[in-house]
Amino acid sequence: MTSRSNYALESKMKVVAVYGTLSDLLSVASSKLGIKATSVYNGKGGLIDDIALIRDDDVLFVCEGEPFIDPQTDSKPPEGLSGSHTDWLTLNVGGRYFTTTRSTLVNKEPDSMLAHMFKDKGVWGNKQDHRGAFLIDRSPEYFEPILNYLRHGQLIVNDGINLLGVLEEARFFGIDSLIQHLEVAIKNSQPPEDHSPISRKEFVRFLLATPTKSELRCQGLNFSGADLSRLDLRYINFKMANLSRCNLAHANLCCANLERADLSGSVLDCANLQGVKMLCSNAEGASLKLCNFEDPSGLKANLEGANLKGVDMEGSQMTGINLRVATLKNAKLKNCNLRGATLAGTDLENCDLSGCDLQEANLRGSNVKGAIFEEMLTPLHMSQSVR
């Protein structure tokens, strides 16, 4: 006959004589085993309530009132599931009740805030509502996916729940492994960036929706291949925009900012470019025939450092234009008005300047190797120090 406590079986076996009533048996067991025996079980866990049910070969187990524990199994609870961790708890999260076990909150993420909050009993003190639920002042809709993750290790979020909100809660509670899952999920849920060019229809709608006195900023936008011909684009900021292969013929670009913009292969024939800023822009291979860069008010167009290789600017009005250190290699400037233009340090190699008006133009330090100056309106003087 063996006695046992609530969590362990007594390993020492004792044989006693069984006689009299069940009460007599319990009294003898209490005396022999040094316990206050109240119940008797057979080897299969059956409760003995009559001494007549005991057979001669039965091994009996007595206890002090605890439920039966099979002596053939390990008497110790699994690691991490001691009595304090198997308690059922009710949480009041933002007014919504969740029921779970202490082990769910503690075991998966032992270093998290939730684990530290519920690892030991009594840590919350009086922070319970009238129903005894532990109060947590957080969003219940974002807490639910976190609790389910702690239960089964899977990130499951219902439709309509913002992943960014769940991520913020996971960071608050210190659920590190869930944070990684959420960051990946958020990244995968983002729509791919749209780099497609802006169409004429979209841009016209944009223009019409913008007050005339408001500054229109189009820095870095992609207009590649768009038809923007004959549009009023005055004063618009196209800095670093992609305008390659655009049709800008007859467009009004007066005082527009095209600094570092890509205009390669574009058509700007007959465009109004008075006072335009095209510093360091790339207009290689573009067509700028019959363009007007000349501003009657004296505001000069600035194309300093621009890449104008192979451009066709035939017949353009460019009085006073600033082309300092620009590259005009193989460009066509036939019959252009370059009176008073700044061409200091400009690369004019193999450039066609026939029929140009270069009166008072500054060509100091420019490269005119292979350039064509036939039929010039103003002869080029040595004092202009060309290379």
pLDDT tens-digit profile of 194-213?
Answer: 568 888 998 998 888 887 76
Q: Is residue 308 part of a domain?
A: no
Q: Is residue 142 part of a domain?
A: yes
Residue span of the structural domain in which 56 resides: 22-63
CA-closest candidate to residue 265, choices 318, 210, 310: 310
CATH number (domain holding residue 168): 3.30.710.10
| Mean pLDDT of the chain, nearest integer | 82
Element holding 203 (H helix, E strand): helix 200-208
Q: Is residue 318 part of a domain?
A: no
Domain boundary among 156, 189, 222: 189
What's the number of domains the chain is made of?
Answer: 2
Q: Is residue 46 part of a domain?
A: yes
**Pair (125, 46) in one structural domain:** no
CB burial readout 45-65, b (16+ within 10 A) else e? eeebeebeeeeeebebbbbee
Q: Is residue 196 part of a domain?
A: no
Q: Is 222 helix (H, G, I), strand (E, B) or coil?
A: strand
**Pair (141, 175) in one structural domain:** yes
What averages of pLDDT result for each successive group of 10 residues across the chain (387 residues)? 34 56 81 78 68 70 64 45 61 92 89 85 69 89 93 88 93 92 87 76 87 80 94 93 95 95 96 95 96 88 96 95 96 94 94 93 92 64 44
Q: What pLDDT does 1 receive?
A: 43
**Pair (132, 167) in one structural domain:** yes
> Which two structure tokens, joined as six digits, stand for 191?
């729509």
**Pair (166, 125) in one structural domain:** yes
**Pair (92, 185) in one structural domain:** yes
Domain boundary among 167, 189, 211: 189
**Pair (118, 160) in one structural domain:** yes
Q: What pLDDT does 24 receive?
A: 82
Q: Is residue 122 part of a domain?
A: yes
pTM score above 0.85? no
**Pair (52, 94) in one structural domain:** no
pLDDT by residue (tens digit) across 116-130?
888 876 665 658 888
